[in-house]
Amino acid sequence: MRKPHAAWSWQTKWTVSLMLLALGVYLLTRFRELWPPLIVAVLLAYVLSWPVELLTKRFRLARGWATALVYLLLFAVLLVTLLVGVPLLVGQVQSLNLDVQRLILQAESILGQRIVIAGQVLDGQQALEQLRGVLQQGIEALLSSTLSIVVNVVSSVALGVFVLIISFYLVKDAPLVKAYLDSLPPPPFQEDYQRLRREISAIWGAFFRGQLTLAAVVGGLFTVIGLIVGLPGAIPMGILAGLLEFLPSLGHGIWLTLASLLAFFVGSTWLPLPNWAFAALIIGIHLIFQQVDINYLIPRIVGRRVHLHPMVVILGILAGAILGGVLGVLLASPTIASLRVLGRYVYARLFDLDPFPSPVSEPLPPPNLQWWQKRSTSRRRFPRRRRR
C-alpha cells in the first residue's frame, strides 16, 4: 500500500511561493523584449479563434484545417491591403497637395501678431522659430539614421513572422491550452476560477468584437462624411477615425485636432466656404457625432462591460503608454476592467463577502407599442364582421 505524502508546513509553502515569485519577476525583467510580441500573438489568436470556432461547429471542419483556412484568408486580406490599399492611401495623401512653404507663411502671419493677455505679451514668432528648429533637428536625425531604420524594418518583419507562428499554434491547440489552464487551480477554487474566467473573457470579447465593429462603422461613416463635405484626404482620415476608436475619450480629441487643422489650412475640396468656416463646420459635425457615439453606438456595440469613467480611461491610457507603449495604450481599457473584476473578488474574499452576488432581478417594463402595433392588436381582438 502506498504511503501518503507528507504535507508541507506553512514555512515551506511561504518559502517556495516567495522563490517562485522572485523567479517570475526575474523572468519578466530578463525577457521583457519578448513579452510585447507574445502578447500580440495571444491577442491575435484570441480574435481569430472566433471564425475558427464557427468553421468547426457549423461546417464540421477539423480544427487544423479550419485554422489553416482562416490564416490563408488573413494572408489574402493583408496582400490585397498592401497591393490596393497602400497605393490608394498614397494617392489620397498626394491629393492633399500640401504646400509646406505656404503653410509656414500662413503660420508666420498668424503667429507673428503680438497677442496681449492680462498685460502679458505673447511672442508667437519666437515660438515658431523654436518649432522650426525642432522640426529641422528631427528631419536631420531621421535622415542620418537610415541604417537603423533598415535594421528596425527587418526586425519588425521577423517579429511579425514570430507572432503569426505562435498565434497559429495557439489557435490550433486552443482546446488543449484551455484544458491545461482549467486544471491548474485546486479543486476548492475551481468554481471561483471558472466564474472569473467567464467574466474576464466576456470583457475582452466585448472589447475586441465591439471595438472592431465600432472601428469599421466609424471609419466608414467618417469617410462618407469627409467625401460629402470635401475634407482633404477623406479616406485616410476616415481610416484614422476608425483606428482612434481604440483610444476611448482620447481618440476623438486627436482626430478633431488633426481634422480641424487640415480644414483650416487647406480648406474644402469643393464647398465654397472660407477655411475658418469649413474648420468650424468640421468641429460642429464631430461634436454632434461624439454625442451619437457616446450615447448610442458605444452602449449598443461595445456594451457596458468595458464601461469606465473617462477620467479612469485617460489615466489608464497614460499609465499604459508609460509601461507598455502603443500596446499599453490600446489595451488600457480592458485591462482596467479586468483588474476591477479581480479587485472586487479579492476584496470580497478578504472581508468574507459573497464574491459573486446574484444580480437583483427587476420586473420587465411594459411593452411600448407603436401605433401600427396597437392597430394590429385591436384587429386581432375585434375582427371585422363579414357582411352578409
Could you give the CA distance from residue 125 to residue 108 in angstroms, rounded to a whole number? 7
Question: Is it the case that residue 319 has pLDDT exceeding 60?
Answer: yes
For 354, list phi and psi in degrees, rounded to 5.
Answer: -75, 115
Average confidence (pLDDT) over 61-67: 92
Most confident among 86-100, 121-135, 241-255, 329-343 (mean pLDDT) = 329-343
Question: Tell me, what's the pLDDT at 360?
Answer: 47
Question: Is it the case that residue 22 has pLDDT exceeding 90?
Answer: yes
DSSP assignment of 162-185: HHHHHHHHHHHTHHHHHHHHHHSS
Question: Tell me, what's the pLDDT at 366?
Answer: 55
On whether residue 302 sits in a domain, the answer given is yes
Q: In the structure grid, which three cell numbers stand for residue 336, read together? A: 482596467
Average confidence (pLDDT) over 142-149: 62
Average confidence (pLDDT) over 150-175: 86
Q: In the structure grid, which three cell numbers stand for residue 332, read together? A: 488600457
Most confident among 159-163, 166-170, 249-253, 304-308 (mean pLDDT) = 166-170
Question: Is it the case that residue 60 has pLDDT exceeding 50?
Answer: yes
How far, CA to CA in Å, does 345 sit from each of 56, 186, 220, 303? 35, 17, 40, 22
More confident residue, 315 or 108: 315
Domain containing residue 278: 188-354
Specify the pairing of strand 120-122 against strand 115-117: antiparallel
On whether residue 217 sits in a domain, the answer given is yes
On whether residue 310 sits in a domain, the answer given is yes
pTM score, whole prediction:
0.70
On whether residue 193 sits in a domain, the answer given is yes
On whether residue 267 sits in a domain, the answer given is yes
Q: In the structure grid, which three cell numbers stand for residue 204, read together? A: 475582452
Q: How many domains does the chain have?
A: 1
Could you give the CA distance from residue 70 to residue 50 in angstroms, rounded to a whole number? 10
331 SS3 class? coil
Q: What is the pLDDT of residues 81-104, one digit of tens each?
A: 888 777 777 776 666 555 555 666
On whether residue 120 sits in a domain, the answer given is no
Q: How confident is the model at residue 73 (pLDDT cuts 50, 70, 90)?
A: very high
Could you give the CA distance from residue 22 to residue 27 in angstroms, rounded to a whole number? 9
Residue 124, number of CB atoms within 10 A of its CB? 15
Q: How confident is the model at residue 28 (pLDDT cuts 50, 70, 90)?
A: confident
Rg (CA), the chain: 28
Q: In the structure grid, which three cell numbers stand for residue 148, read together? A: 537603423
Could you give the CA distance from residue 146 to residue 134 in angstroms, rounded to a whole number? 19
Average confidence (pLDDT) over 183-208: 88
Question: Is it the case that residue 388 has pLDDT exceeding 90?
Answer: no
Q: How confident is the model at residue 362 (pLDDT cuts 50, 70, 90)?
A: very low
Average confidence (pLDDT) over 62-81: 91
Average confidence (pLDDT) over 63-92: 85
Question: Tell me, what's the pLDDT at 113?
Answer: 63
Question: Is it the case that residue 4 has pLDDT exceeding 80?
Answer: no
Question: Is it the case that residue 312 has pLDDT exceeding 70?
Answer: yes
Question: Tell me, what's the pLDDT at 284?
Answer: 93
Average confidence (pLDDT) over 52-66: 91
On whether residue 229 sits in a domain, the answer given is yes
Question: Tell me, what's the pLDDT at 82?
Answer: 80
On whether residue 194 sits in a domain, the answer given is yes
Q: What is the pLDDT of residues 269-286, one digit of tens each?
A: 888 888 889 999 999 999
